[in-house]
Amino acid sequence: MDTNALYEETSSPRVMKQIIIIMGVITLMFLAAYIYLSLKTTIGNIPNWFYLIMFLLSLTVTILFINFKKLSIAVTSSAITLRYGMFKSVVAWENVGKCTNVSDQSKSSGGIGLYFTRRDGTWVRAYNLMKNPQIELALKTGKSKILIFSTENPDRIIEIADQMSIPTS
């Protein structure tokens, strides 16, 4: 953990571990079917390469789930750092025009993952965990003018933004 951090957290949806296990089992089943059928010719009308493609597809999905297993947030006096698997964003406080706790469900971003969307003519980037409260940052510069992220303690993020003289209403 960073000794200069004003706030840090690492969150992981409870369901993610179960999803990874299920996807891992499915992936291994496709691999076993491909290996078994490679020793034989075919069973029914399904060619052997189908199981290889399904194995590679399910392996890719499993790796994506592993990548999005946890969201890490580190807030220092100079920036907010978000890390979601191999994806990372660092936002300097001087680039934040406004910081709000997203309580309006129409503006919240549901689901799990990192995604980009458009809202009111501007790009929105979201680092999201299902059912966690969210913080929305209005950014002054960058391709994405709105950054949304899930946090277990939105009040602490708002408190730090207040300390940094960032509007929070």
Q: To the nearest whole number, what is the mean pLDDT of the chain?
A: 87
Residue-wise pLDDT tens digits, 20-56: 999 999 999 999 988 888 877 655 677 788 889 999 9
Q: What angle is formed at CA 132 by the lines to CA 127 and CA 137, rounded to 5 degrees?
A: 45
pTM: 0.78
Cα distance between residue 8 and residue 18, in whole Å = 25
Query: Cα(89)–Cα(93) distance, rounded to whole angstroms?
Result: 13
pLDDT in tens, 102-133: 865 555 556 677 888 888 889 999 998 877 88
Q: Which of residues 38 and 154 earns the better pLDDT score?
A: 154
In 3D space, the residue among 100, 114, 117 whose CA is nearest the CA of residue 154 turns out to be 100
User: What is the strand order of the sheet 96-102 is part of?
Assistant: 96-102, 134-139, 144-150, 122-128, 113-119
pLDDT of residue 159 exceeding 90, the answer is yes
Q: Are strands 122-128 and 87-92 parallel, antiparallel or unpaired?
A: unpaired
